[in-house]
């Protein structure tokens, strides 16, 4: 064991998406901030968001309608206090974003204060602010540009957090307090300690645990696993949202076809060109994502076909090219033409609706530890996320967390580091066949047993298989040095176990959780909450 090199900061932020960068910018004028990203700073999930940000700007729309659409999509599990909190704070957070340099598409003739608004599934009005079909890219670039100009904001790219560091409570009444984290910097082959008064997890969700998903491999639940090991509760992890329209093509398995396509009139078709969604739901293709995705899977199984088709050919080519230029170009590289032919699509894992339990300021169960964005469970999304509420949640909770942190910081001091650090030793990146095989097995289990349609038997088998993978990993790597992929797989297995445990707790079908044994929703339902203290006692 040896003493490690060390960073000191007031606030340590893990994650460089909309939530992490927005928070960092709000704090950087007041304190020392260190932000780390797992990969290049521009390659978080936010960068690839095609859709936009849901906010009431149209004169015919209301805040109450946005709240009701959110609650309806959430299938009765949204927190009744959190939904209006987010919706009513949307406007000033959007104005802050515009002040940072964000420019949304305009429509001078619309009754929406000059913004062009589109519509997506589950929304009763046009209320999606966007920049064509590359909103996330423009949002990321705007925030990154601002972040690089702050002297009090340090950015470290391509770093992994090995574990969070907390104090040990003196008794059962006290809660632990966060004092920092250990990070691994592969480029320097260096393990480093970060000492911080406050730590914020903004690491995104866990959709890459599934074979078919819309996210980068980094979206594997790192923050959820870190918070759980630090003593935080998690909630509603059984609700993983599946996006209905991901391109079915071997050269672009993660290419999402934005829901705004359906908002502008695209329809879902069978291979013979006939529609099926009008017979499933009165809202047809604009029904919430869980309804559309399950209907697609059932139709593919009924017809024994590998995919269905998204067709927007009936709309003017000029409209398609104006609103979806990036997607059009990407498809053309694959010899597909959005203006001339139906595009093959399949559902894929997209968004984690649950996560680390937090309050309205993003505070977790561990003093000084916050979680914002997709890593957190705020109560906004319930059993199924309303389209384009994700970036809105990031912006609102970045603001509310900043307010709480700035109020808390004057009372906090750095905790003196212990003279010796943990004995964890990490080896250079090495893709061993055993690790790759275990990751593939995990993703197969999650897709087949914990996907769009589940059974109690399948979930029980999935948990046993995940536990077996964990046991095999522990036996193979009992002593350091550990390849960094082992640390990543440890997080993935941890989160997969939590997802399955949450799914086994919910004996009903609701939103993104469909259980064949219990196909109907219960008359009354509550969030599924897991506590690490309870599991450690068992």
Positions annotated as catalytic residues are: 289
Half-sphere exposure of 189 (CA within 13 A, CB side): 7
Query: What distance in Å separates the CA atoms of residue 1 and residue 425, rounded to the nearest whole number?
Result: 9
- Other CB atoms within 10 A of residue 363 CB: 20
Alpha helix stretches (DSSP H) within 231-356? 260-263, 289-303, 317-323, 325-332
Contact 376, 351 (CB under 8 A): no
Contact between 49 and 258 (Cβ < 8 Å):
no
User: How many Cα atoms are found within 13 Å in the side-chain-facing hemisphere of 427?
Assistant: 11
Q: Rounded to an integer, what distance in angstroms lies between the CA atom of residue 65 and that of residue 23? A: 28
Are residues 243 and 209 in contact, defined by beta-carbon separation less than 8 angstroms? no
Residue with tokens 């009765």: 76
Please state the length of the chain: 538
CB 244 within 8 A of CB 282: no
- Taking the alpha carbons at both ends of the chain, their separation in whole angstroms is 31
Query: Which among 204, 168, 211 is positioned nearest to 450, based on CA atoms?
Result: 211
> Could you give the 3-state DSSP secondary structure of residue 226?
helix
Strands 267-269 and 6-14: unpaired
Q: Which three-class secondary structure state does DSSP give residue 192?
A: strand
State the Cα–Cα distance between residues 340 and 332, nearest whole angstrom.
11
How many Å apart are CA 220 and CA 208, to the nearest integer? 5
């Amino acid at each position: 064991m040896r003493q490690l090199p060390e960073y000191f900061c007031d606030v340590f932020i893990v994650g460089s998406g909309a939530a992490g960068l927005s928070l960092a910018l709000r704090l950087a004028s007041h304190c020392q901030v260190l932000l780390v990203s797992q990969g290049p700073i521009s390659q978080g999930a936010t960068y690839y968001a095609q859709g936009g940000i849901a906010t009431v700007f149209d004169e015919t729309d209301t805040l109450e309608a946005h709240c009701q659409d959110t609650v309806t999509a959430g299938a009765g599990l949204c927190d009744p206090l959190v939904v209006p909190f987010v919706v009513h704070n949307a406007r000033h957070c959007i104005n802050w974003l515009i002040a940072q340099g964000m420019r949304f598409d305009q429509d001078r003739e619309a009754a929406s204060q000059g913004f062009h608004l589109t519509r997506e599934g589950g929304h009763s009005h046009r209320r999606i602010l966007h920049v064509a079909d590359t909103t996330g890219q423009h949002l990321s670039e705007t925030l990154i540009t601002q972040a690089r100009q702050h002297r009090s904001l340090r950015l470290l790219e391509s770093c992994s957090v090995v574990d969070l560091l907390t104090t040990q409570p003196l008794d059962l009444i006290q809660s632990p307090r966060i004092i920092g984290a250990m990070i691994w910097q592969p480029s320097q082959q260096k393990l480093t300690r970060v000492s911080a008064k406050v730590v914020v997890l903004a690491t995104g969700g866990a959709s890459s645990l599934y074979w078919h998903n819309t996210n980068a491999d980094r979206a594997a639940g790192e923050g959820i696993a870190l918070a759980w090991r630090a003593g935080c509760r998690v909630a509603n992890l059984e609700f993983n949202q599946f996006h209905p329209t991901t391109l079915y093509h071997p050269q672009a398995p993660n290419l999402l076809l934005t829901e705004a396509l359906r908002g502008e009139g695209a329809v879902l078709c069978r291979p013979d060109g006939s529609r099926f969604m009008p017979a499933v739901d009165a809202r047809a293709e604009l029904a919430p994502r869980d309804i559309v995705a399950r209907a697609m899977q059932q139709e593919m199984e009924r017809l024994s076909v590998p995919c269905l088709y998204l067709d927007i050919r009936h709309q003017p080519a000029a409209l398609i090219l104006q609103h979806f230029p990036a997607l059009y170009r990407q498809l053309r590289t694959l010899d597909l033409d959005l203006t001339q032919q139906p595009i093959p699509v399949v559902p894929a894992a997209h968004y984690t609706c649950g996560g680390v339990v937090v309050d309205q300021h993003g505070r977790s169960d561990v003093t000084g530890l916050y979680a914002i964005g997709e890593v957190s469970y705020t109560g906004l999304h319930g059993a199924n996320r309303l389209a384009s509420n994700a970036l809105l949640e990031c912006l609102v909770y970045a603001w509310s967390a900043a307010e709480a942190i700035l109020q808390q910081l004057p009372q906090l001091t750095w905790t003196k580091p212990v003279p010796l650090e943990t004995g964890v030793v990490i080896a250079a990146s090495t893709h061993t066949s055993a690790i790759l095989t275990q990751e593939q097995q995990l993703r197969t289990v999650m897709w087949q047993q914990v996907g769009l349609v589940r059974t109690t038997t399948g979930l029980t088998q999935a948990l046993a298989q995940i536990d077996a993978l964990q046991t095999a990993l522990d036996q193979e790597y009992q002593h350091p040095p550990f390849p960094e992929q082992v640390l990543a797989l440890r997080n993935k297995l941890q989160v997969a176990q939590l997802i399955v445990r949450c799914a086994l707790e919910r004996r009903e079908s609701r939103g993104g959780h469909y259980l064949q044994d219990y196909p109907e929703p219960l008359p009354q339902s509550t969030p599924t909450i897991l506590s690490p203290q309870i599991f450690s006692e068992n």
